[in-house]
């Protein structure tokens, strides 16, 4: 009579070979690497082999940033998390709140908005700030009042809109902060809808770029007002203060700002081909400098960077061994498009990898998160997304589960 240990060694010898083969297959599946494929591969230019020159840093600015719109990657910047007064760039947050409340059905473009005496006195022609010129104690359609705020940077229009949406500036500021939190603006706090200096009213270059990205992505109609070059209220026609709209046809926003405390500010966005960039320059020395510096950042970004879509949602990019399931593998993909921004000509140097559990056990739901796919360049992770199950894997029957249980035990001893 053979001892159990000898029985395992000699009688089940073929099973040991099979188990080894299965383990090898499982490890091979785990090592499988998704390989990104460009939609239209382009030959690298000779200049692509050269290092990317430093970004043209705005020397007179207190903080600045350049962000890729599609990925949210910061391509360059300084003091991007430093608190700064955003001046009239604040009105981009006001536009976002109005668009969100409109999407929720709480207000309409045709609403008649009153230019109250308070709005007129605090932000009208009698003040030192910019104004729209809507007559006091008269109404105008909300969409017209909003254009007066966006194009003319009217402080009076911003106050009137805040009163219409929330009843008061304070109540509207509470809405601004709630929506900012939803966007992910963790370094901002708003006290008013117009951006005039007030204690506790601040943001950062990074947060403002997130705001611009959110407005463009979620409310393109509201964003489109930012490219209007001039707007007329009564007998007064005023130009948009963003001079880049005239200098660069790829620029379609976003907002200027200036106070004595904030300095000269500009958040700009441009689209060339399929690529969009967002620049933020805060606390610059003059109107001329903020425009020139923003233009230089955009030109540098477009010249030396490109954006690629690596994976589409729902497409299989890898598979993984599954135990105790009706199927012995699960196909993996991403739930959202995976894009990456990188220096031009570096696409072939991307290094994709997967982090997945060594052991997966059914049942597995379709869309269930399984692991993470990462893409690295020069040893640095530049993008990552959750890996999810493209297909469901139902639990096997009793004998199927028992069989896999045995092999799982065998591999563990």
With beta carbons less than 8 A apart as the criterion, state whether 149 and 132 touch: yes
List Cβ<8 Å contacts ≥24 apart for 174-181: 175/97, 175/101, 176/93, 176/94, 176/97, 179/93, 179/96, 179/97, 179/100, 180/93, 180/207, 180/211
Cis-peptide, bond into residue 347, ω within 30° of zero: no
Partners of 189 in the β-ladder: 202
Residue among 88, 95, 188, 279 flagged as catalytic: 88
Q: Does 153 participate in catalysis according to the annotation?
A: yes
Q: Does 376 participate in catalysis according to the annotation?
A: no
Distance from C-alpha of 244 to C-alpha of 227, rounded to nearest angstrom: 10
With beta carbons less than 8 A apart as the criterion, state whether 204 and 188 touch: yes
> Residue 21, SS3?
helix
Phi-psi region of 89 (alpha: psi -120 to 50; beta: other; left: phi over 0): alpha
b/e map 192-207, b = 16+ CB within 10 Å: bbbbbeeeebbbbbbb
Residue among 95, 153, 269, 279 flagged as catalytic: 153
Q: Does 132 participate in catalysis according to the annotation?
A: no
> In this structure, how many other beta carbons lie within 10 angstroms of the beta carbon of residue 236?
12
Partners of 354 in the β-ladder: 373
Q: Which of 112, 165, 159 is nearest to 138 (CA)?
A: 112
Q: Which residues are marked as active site?
A: 88, 91, 153
């Amino acid at each position: 009579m053979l001892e159990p240990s000898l029985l395992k060694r000699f009688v089940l010898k073929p099973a040991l070979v099979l188990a080894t083969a299965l383990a090898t297959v499982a490890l091979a599946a785990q090592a499988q690497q998704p390989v990104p494929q460009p939609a239209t591969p382009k030959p690298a230019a000779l200049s692509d082999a050269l290092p990317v020159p430093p970004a043209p840093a705005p020397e007179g600015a207190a903080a600045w940033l350049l962000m890729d719109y599609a990925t949210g990657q910061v391509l360059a910047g300084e003091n991007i998390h430093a608190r700064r007064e955003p001046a009239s760039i604040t009105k981009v947050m006001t536009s976002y709140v109005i668009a969100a409340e409109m999407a929720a059905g709480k207000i309409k473009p045709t609403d008649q908005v009153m230019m109250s005496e308070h709005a007129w006195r605090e932000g009208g022609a009698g003040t030192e700030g910019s104004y729209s010129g809507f007559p006091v104690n008269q109404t105008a359609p909300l969409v017209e009042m909003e254009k007066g705020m966006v194009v003319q940077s009217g402080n009076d229009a911003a106050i009137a809109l805040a009163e219409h949406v929330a009843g008061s500036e304070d109540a509207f500021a509470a809405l601004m902060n709630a929506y900012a939190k939803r966007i992910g603006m963790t370094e901002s706090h708003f006290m008013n809808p117009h951006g005039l200096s007030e204690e506790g009213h601040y943001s950062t270059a990074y947060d403002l770029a997130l705001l611009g990205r959110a407005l463009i992505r979620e409310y393109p109609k509201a964003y489109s007002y930012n490219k209007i070059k001039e707007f007329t209220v009564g007998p007064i026609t005023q130009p948009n203060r963003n001079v880049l709209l005239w200098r660069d046809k790829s620029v379609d926003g976003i907002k200027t700002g200036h106070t004595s405390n904030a300095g000269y500010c500009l958040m700009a966005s441009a689209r060339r081909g399929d690529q969009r960039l967002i620049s933020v320059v805060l606390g610059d020395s003059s109107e001329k400098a903020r425009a020139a510096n923003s233009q230089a950042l955009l030109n540098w970004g477009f010249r030396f960077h490109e954006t690629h879509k690596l994976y589409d949602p729902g497409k299989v990019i890898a598979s993984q061994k599954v135990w105790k399931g009706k199927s012995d593998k699960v196909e993996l993909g991403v739930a959202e498009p995976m894009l990456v921004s990188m220096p031009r000509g570096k696409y072939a140097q991307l290094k994709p990898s997967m982090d997945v559990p060594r052991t997966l056990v059914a049942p597995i739901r379709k869309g269930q998160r399984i692991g993470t796919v990462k893409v690295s360049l020069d040893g640095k992770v530049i993008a990552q997304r959750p890996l999810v199950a493209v297909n469901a894997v139902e639990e096997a029957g009793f004998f199927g589960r028992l069989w896999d249980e045995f092999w799982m035990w065998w591999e563990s001893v």
